[in-house]
Amino acid sequence: MLELVAGHPDAEDVLAEGAQAVGAHVRDWLAQPLLIHDNAIAQPLLCLIEFATWAALRGALPQPVSFAGYSVGELASHACAGGIAAGELARLAQRRAAFMDAANPRPGGLLALRGLLRSDVEALCAGRSAWIAIANGNDAFVVGGDSTILDSLSAQAVARGGQVTCLKVGVASHTPWLAKAVRSFQQALDASTLHAPVIPVIAGVDASLVTSRAKAISALAAQLATTIEWSRCLEALYERGCRVFLELGPGDQLSRMVRELLPSDVDARSVSNFRSLEGAAEWVTRH
């Protein structure tokens, strides 16, 4: 995760500030691969690596039209957009994870589902503890809820021609199960140094433009228990004129989603696709 940014002074500053805020360094977490899927580690880990990657790249890139972040990535987006410093980002990500874990009423999780329309997925979820957590496309969704219910739903989805992948997440993120976490996180955001982003951020819950502190707090808190409309976010960016998308990683699943969902005049790559930060910056500049 740190291969491309290791040693870059701006990236190392982000990682050091984050470590000072939460009492552990990203590299300490990465040395314990069996633990990095735990919510308490995964959320600050991802946020700090994404912000560190942006810190290392931003001097070589033109100013973005907007930022968007997938799930906890939306919190990292606000750091990249100039709305929050690295230490506060790490603290908020850690608190977000704690609130979500505390709000989870009983064993829950997420599964990725492809090949069924939204109406079909909603019908499978209706009347039981399962909901669409993230809408990634016309036939691509993440469903969250009670683990036992998800097992049954998975079998029914496959029987109807769907493809199911279980995700390594222990809470039913972005579903009503986490309603108790919303107010707690909203209070934490309100007490934080988060301010209006310098560059607009797309809100995951409704694909609207976030340009104020109040809207940032509202959107970041609401998404804990509300469906993330990711495909709508990408469409909103396209409507704003975005044709070049750079994913900060780790991995490249989001940039592949962009290429799959948006028209052919769009190109999207992840920093992870390049051998160096310079290569990523050159690609963006050239496009």
Cβ atoms within 10 Å of 212's Cβ, excluding its own:
12
Distances (CA, A) of 193 to 136, 141, 196, 201, 276: 31, 34, 10, 17, 33
Mean pLDDT of 24-53: 92
Mean pLDDT of 43-51: 96
| φ/ψ (deg, to 5) at 21 | -75, -40
Whether residue 55 is found in the same domain as residue 189: yes
Report how far residue 65's alpha carbon sits from residue 175's, in angstroms, rounded to the nearest whole number.
30
Mean pLDDT of 256-273: 96
Give percent of the chain above pLDDT 70.
Answer: 100
Tens digits of residue pLDDT in 77-123:
999 999 999 999 999 999 999 999 999 877 789 999 999 999 999 99
Domain that holds residue 157: 108-166
Whether residue 268 is found in the same domain as residue 155: no
Whether the predicted pLDDT of 183 surpasses 90: yes
Report how far residue 275's alpha carbon sits from residue 255's, in angstroms, rounded to the nearest whole number.
17
Residue 277 has a pLDDT of 96
CB 52 within 8 A of CB 271: no
3-state DSSP: the chain helix, strand, coil percent, rounded to 5?
Answer: 50, 15, 35
Whether residue 270 is found in the same domain as residue 188: yes
Whether the predicted pLDDT of 39 surpasses 80: yes
Residue 214 has a pLDDT of 98
Which strands, in side-by-side order, build the sheet including 201-202? 67-68, 201-202, 209-210
Instruction: List Cβ neighbours of 66 (8 Å cut-off, separation of 6 or more).
Output: 199, 200, 201, 202, 209, 237, 240, 242
Under DSSP, is residue 108 helix (H, G, I), strand (E, B) or coil?
A: strand
Q: Which of 108, 126, 124, 165 is nearest to 142 (CA)?
A: 165
Whether residue 86 is found in the same domain as residue 187: yes
Whether the predicted pLDDT of 1 surpasses 90: no
Kindly report which listed range (23-37, 50-64, 217-231) carries the lowest average pLDDT score. Answer: 23-37
Whether residue 17 is found in the same domain as residue 158: no
What predicted TM-score, i.e. pTM, was given to this entire model?
0.95
Domain assignment of residue 66, yes or no: yes
Domain assignment of residue 1, yes or no: no
Q: Domains in the chain: how many in total? A: 2
Domain assignment of residue 216, yes or no: yes
Question: How high is the mean pLDDT of the chain?
Answer: 95
Q: Which of 166, 167, 110 is nearest to 133 (CA)?
A: 110
Report how far residue 93's alpha carbon sits from residue 210's, in angstroms, rounded to the nearest whole number.
19
Cβ atoms within 10 Å of 89's Cβ, excluding its own:
29
Cβ atoms within 10 Å of 144's Cβ, excluding its own:
29
Residue 164 has a pLDDT of 95
Domain assignment of residue 69, yes or no: yes
Mean pLDDT of 17-36: 92
Cβ atoms within 10 Å of 276's Cβ, excluding its own:
11
Instruction: List Cβ neighbours of 216 (8 Å cut-off, separation of 6 or more).
Output: 78, 83, 189, 194, 196, 197, 201, 210
DSSP 8-class letter at 229 = -
CATH number for 121: 3.30.70.250
Whether the predicted pLDDT of 249 surpasses 90: no
DSSP 8-class letter at 228 = B
Tens digits of residue pLDDT in 205-221:
999 999 999 999 999 99
Mean pLDDT of 242-251: 95
Residue 36 has a pLDDT of 85
Domain assignment of residue 197, yes or no: yes
Residue 105 has a pLDDT of 76
Tens digits of residue pLDDT in 60-76:
999 999 999 999 999 99
Whether residue 185 is found in the same domain as residue 73: yes
> Largest Cα–Cα distance in the chain?
52
Whether the predicted pLDDT of 158 surpasses 80: yes
For residue 275, the Cα-to-chain-centroid distance in whole angstroms is 24
Cβ atoms within 10 Å of 105's Cβ, excluding its own:
12
